[in-house]
């Protein structure tokens, strides 16, 4: 069973990540983001990219995190399959591992334009797990 | 949608009267069938837009409206800068100036059928589309700024198309108030490899056949005859526009409390038109519009080249180019007085009617062409703007396309890309796309009935139906 999921939104797609910590939920949301484009299992974790962002609250930080990944995917023409995230206060530092897009192997379904504030939520569930989600524009 | 909260004013006009925090009513144009099927979020979002400062007359939703970001997709709202009116990055969206252009080809169906597979393959090979694709053009920093300031005018000066194209583009192909200095380095970086690319998702390039003329005199004004072959390109401002949308949405959402704006939804992030942030966004948005116009101009040249390789006697001439995610400064008559307003059209198309001074002389009598993309595999339509002084509705706006009726998630559950491609091929429609999953998400049945949408638009007095187009070849990213 995945710790990430997609949820319905009219024109686009919601991504959702679950984890024991906020960081883990952010990691799973990032896997969910990759899954919008391709099967995350098909992405080799070869090349690391470091990411740093900062936001006035945790939910904006989640959107910034996903948008930072979208920027790196777009400008490097890469896909990412593995992530490590550390959040200290309002700052996030992370490494994302991935490889160059290979259309023949990854069959990318769609390009993600940006992460939005629609259905944006970072919260603790009754079972204690963190849930991080938002809709992404494709 | 629960219709009990709406007042029905006519066959196709439904009103949410002003109440509570709404400053104006919300008005939805749709047939009973279309509105009953609309998701409830359209009601929620249209009424939330009606709460924004400086909004004039009403918050509108078009017949193809569906759940969007802050604004419904298919949303129209105009603001007066002198009444504390706002500009909303969410109300323009992530794909600034996404739009459609349609080109005549001078060809007939028999010309296409003789070479259809080869034409499809040549277009697919020459038009960069989808994730990982890149354009051939690499701009220096100075050239990037020139492009952002010049739009399609810049592209023509660089050899992409000719001057005759420019009068067939809104704004003459260039937003004069664009300010490249308001575009971040990150946005420019994101655009660096994307000049002349199609994108993915619901973007496409389609070779189409005019199957039906519904308004003979307007079709004649547009140069359209039954049996004509045309090409339509649906695409926007690429990575640059997406990055500008992302950055300004964030800045506006964070700054809103300081301007005393209470956002009913963070996605409605906006700033007063007469604020530094509002002005900076308009400058950046203008640059993004220019980027989209330049991009469609470059794609047109690539399309012309592909056609000439396969059909040397083809002559691709631009009919018109419209945008459907913009905020435009326009003068409109409100209660008998002309007022300068900033009109947001989010998934809605400008539809200037007969006599409008901004139209090229060829269209002065007919009204503006309004190009409506259907879903892949069904039909598209060309409409004509109907608005005249005293009869204008929704600030001379109309629908933009069929609008989705089902999420991508649901579409994937129901359909398989391979079966769809084969089905369409059996009907004579060739699809070229790097991803079968992408095809399934764009399944025709995941969209509303475009015929119902355009008929409701005509009934509502927004735009007249002129011609029906059906696809022959569809290139997707």
Per-residue model confidence (pLDDT) at position B275: 96
| Cα separation, B462 vs B384, whole angstroms | 9
Residues of chain B with C-beta less than 8 angstroms from the C-beta of A121: none
Q: Which sequence spans correspond to the domains of chain B?
A: 3-405+447-476
Q: What does B437-470 look like in DSSP terms, one character per residue?
A: HHHHHT-GGGB--HHHHHHHHHHTTSEEEEEEEE
At B218 the three-state DSSP class reads helix
> What is the least distance, in Å, from the CA of A29 to any CA of chain B?
16
A117/B269 CB distance under 8 A: yes
Residues of chain B with C-beta less than 8 angstroms from the C-beta of A138: 200-201, 408
Per-residue model confidence (pLDDT) at position A131: 98
> What is the least distance, in Å, from the CA of B145 to any CA of chain A?
19
Contact B27, B13 (CB under 8 A): yes
Pick B3-405+447-476's CATH classification: 3.90.1860.10, 3.40.1190.20, 2.40.50.140, 3.30.110.30.
3.90.1860.10
A110/B441 CB distance under 8 A: yes
A116 touches chain B (CB under 8 A): yes
CB-CB neighbours of B107 under 10 Å:
21
Question: Of the candidates B68, B130, B193, which has its C-beta nearest A108's C-beta?
Answer: B130
Question: Of the candidates B134, B190, B407, which has its C-beta nearest A10's C-beta?
Answer: B407
B68/A101 CB distance under 8 A: no
Residues of chain A with C-beta less than 8 angstroms from the C-beta of B476: none
A109/B437 CB distance under 8 A: yes
Q: Tell me the two tokens of residue B76.
A: 């129209």
| Cα separation, B6 vs B24, whole angstroms | 14
Pick A4-137's CATH classification: 3.55.10.10, 3.30.2130.10, 3.40.50.1860, 3.40.190.10.
3.55.10.10
At B18 the three-state DSSP class reads coil
Which residue in B has a C-alpha nearest to residue A104's C-alpha? B434
| Cα separation, B142 vs A9, whole angstroms | 40
| Cα separation, B385 vs B393, whole angstroms | 10
Q: What does chain A look like in DSSP terms, one character per residue?
A: --SEEEEE-SSSEEEEEEESSHHHHHHHHHHHHHHHHS-GGGS---EEEEEEEE-SSHHHHHHHHHHHHHHHHHHHTEEEEEEEEEEETTEEEEEEEEEE--HHHH-------EE-STT-EEEE-TTS-EEEEEEEE-
Q: Which 8-state DSSP code applies to residue B355?
A: T
B64 closest CA partner among B74, B72, B54: B74
| Cα separation, A57 vs A62, whole angstroms | 9
> What is the least distance, in Å, from the CA of B312 to any CA of chain A?
31
A101/B404 CB distance under 8 A: no
Q: What is the pLDDT of residues A72-108, one digit of tens each?
A: 999 999 999 999 999 999 999 999 999 999 999 999 9
Q: Return per-residue pLDDT of chain B as tens, 477 residues.
A: 999 999 999 999 999 999 999 999 999 999 999 999 999 999 999 999 999 999 999 999 999 999 888 999 999 999 999 999 999 999 999 999 999 999 999 999 999 999 999 999 999 999 999 999 999 999 999 999 999 999 999 999 999 999 999 999 999 999 999 999 999 999 999 999 999 999 998 899 999 999 999 999 999 999 999 999 999 999 999 999 999 999 999 999 999 888 888 887 888 899 999 999 999 999 999 999 999 999 999 999 999 999 999 999 999 999 999 999 999 999 999 999 999 999 999 999 999 999 999 999 999 999 999 999 988 888 999 999 998 888 899 999 999 998 888 888 889 889 999 999 999 999 999 999 999 988 999 998 888 899 999 999 999 999 999 999 999 999 999
What length is written for chain A?
138
Quickly tell me which residue has 């002349």 as its tokens. Answer: B196
CB pairs under 8 A between A and B: 124
Residues 6+ apart with CB under 8 A from B149: B178, B180, B287, B290
Per-residue model confidence (pLDDT) at position B390: 80
Window B:9-48, CB contacts with A under 8 Å: 39, 41
B68/A107 CB distance under 8 A: no
Window A:78-107, CB contacts with B under 8 Å: 100-103, 106-107
| Cα separation, B152 vs A65, whole angstroms | 34
Q: What is the dihedral of CA B213, B209, B370, B146, to 10 degrees?
A: -150
B201 closest CA partner among B171, B236, B175: B236
Question: Of the candidates B93, B193, B201, which has its C-beta nearest A138's C-beta?
Answer: B201
A11/B436 CB distance under 8 A: no
User: How much is the CA Rg of chain B, to the nearest whole Å?
Assistant: 21
C-alpha distances out from residue A44 to A28, A68, A105, B190, B306, Å? 17, 20, 11, 23, 36
> What is the least distance, in Å, from the CA of A111 to any CA of chain B?
6
Pairing of strands B99-108, B317-323: antiparallel
Per-residue model confidence (pLDDT) at position B310: 98
Annotated catalytic residues of B are 400
Question: Of the candidates B39, B254, B436, which has its C-beta nearest A10's C-beta?
Answer: B39
> A1 pLDDT band (50/70/90 cuts)?
low
CB neighbour burial string for B278-293, b if at least 16 within 10 angstroms, e if fewer = bbbbbbbbbbbbbbbb
């Amino acid at each position: 069973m995945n710790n990430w999921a997609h949820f319905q939104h009219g024109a686009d797609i919601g991504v959702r990540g679950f984890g024991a910590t906020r960081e883990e939920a952010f990691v799973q949301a990032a896997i969910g983001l990759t899954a919008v484009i391709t099967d995350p299992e098909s992405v080799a974790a070869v090349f690391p990219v470091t990411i740093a962002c900062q936001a006035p609250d945790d939910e904006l930080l989640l959107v910034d995190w996903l948008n930072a990944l979208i920027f790196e995917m777009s400008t490097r023409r890469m896909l990412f399959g593995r992530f490590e995230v550390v959040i200290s206060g309002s700052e996030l530092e992370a490494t994302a591992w991935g490889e160059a897009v290979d259309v023949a192997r990854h069959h990318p379904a769609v390009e993600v334009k940006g992460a939005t504030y629609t259905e944006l939520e970072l919260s603790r569930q009754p079972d204690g797990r963190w849930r991080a989600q938002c809709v992404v524009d494709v | 949608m629960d219709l009990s909260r709406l007042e029905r004013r006519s066959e196709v006009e439904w009103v949410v009267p002003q109440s509570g925090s709404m400053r104006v009513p919300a008005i939805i144009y749709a047939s009973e069938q279309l509105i009953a099927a609309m998701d409830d979020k359209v009601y929620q979002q249209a009424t939330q837009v009606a709460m924004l400062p400086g909004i004039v007359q009403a918050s509108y939703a078009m017949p193809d409206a569906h759940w969007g970001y802050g604004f419904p997709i298919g949303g129209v709202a105009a603001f007066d800068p002198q009444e504390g009116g706002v500009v909303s990055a969410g109300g323009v969206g992530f794909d600034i100036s996404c739009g459609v252009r349609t080109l005549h080809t001078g060809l007939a169906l028999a010309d296409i059928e003789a070479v259809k597979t080869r034409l499809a393959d040549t277009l697919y090979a020459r038009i960069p589309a989808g994730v990982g694709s890149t354009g051939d053009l690499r701009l220096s920093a100075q050239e990037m700024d020139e492009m952002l300031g010049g739009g399609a005018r810049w592209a023509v000066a660089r050899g992409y198309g000719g001057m005759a194209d420019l009068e067939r583009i809104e704004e003459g192909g260039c937003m004069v108030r664009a300010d490249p200095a308001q575009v971040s380095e990150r946005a420019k970086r994101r655009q660096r490899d994307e000049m002349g690319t199609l994108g993915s998702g619901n973007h496409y390039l389609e070779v189409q056949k005019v199957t039906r003329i519904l308004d003979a005199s307007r079709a004649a004004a547009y140069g359209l005859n039954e049996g004509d072959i045309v090409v339509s390109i649906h695409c926007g401002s690429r990575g640059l526009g997406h990055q500008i949308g992302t950055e300004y949405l964030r800045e506006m959402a964070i700054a809103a409390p300081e301007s005393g704006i209470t956002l009913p939804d963070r996605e409605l992030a906006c700033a007063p038109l007469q604020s530094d942030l509002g002005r900076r966004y308009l400058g950046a948005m203008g640059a993004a519009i220019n980027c989209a116009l330049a991009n469609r101009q470059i794609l047109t040249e690539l399309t012309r080249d592909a056609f000439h390789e396969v059909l040397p006697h083809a002559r691709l001439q631009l009919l018109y180019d419209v945008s459907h995610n913009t905020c435009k400064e326009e003068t409109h008559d409100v209660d008998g007085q002309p007022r300068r307003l900033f009109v947001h059209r989010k998934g809605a198309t400008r539809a200037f009617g007969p006599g409008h001074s901004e139209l090229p002389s060829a269209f002065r009598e007919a009204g503006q062409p309004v190009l409506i993309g259907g879903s892949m595999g069904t039909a598209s339509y060309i409409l004509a703007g109907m608005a005249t002084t005293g009869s204008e509705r929704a600030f001379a706006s109309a629908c933009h396309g069929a609008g989705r009726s089902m999420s991508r998630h649901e579409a994937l559950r129901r359909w398989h890309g391979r079966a769809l491609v084969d089905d369409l091929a059996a009907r004579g429609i060739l699809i070229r796309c790097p991803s079968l999953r992408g095809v399934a998400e764009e399944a025709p049945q995941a969209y509303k009935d475009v015929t119902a949408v355009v008929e409701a638009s005509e009934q509502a007095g927004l735009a007249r139906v002129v011609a029906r187009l059906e696809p022959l070849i569809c290139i997707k990213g």
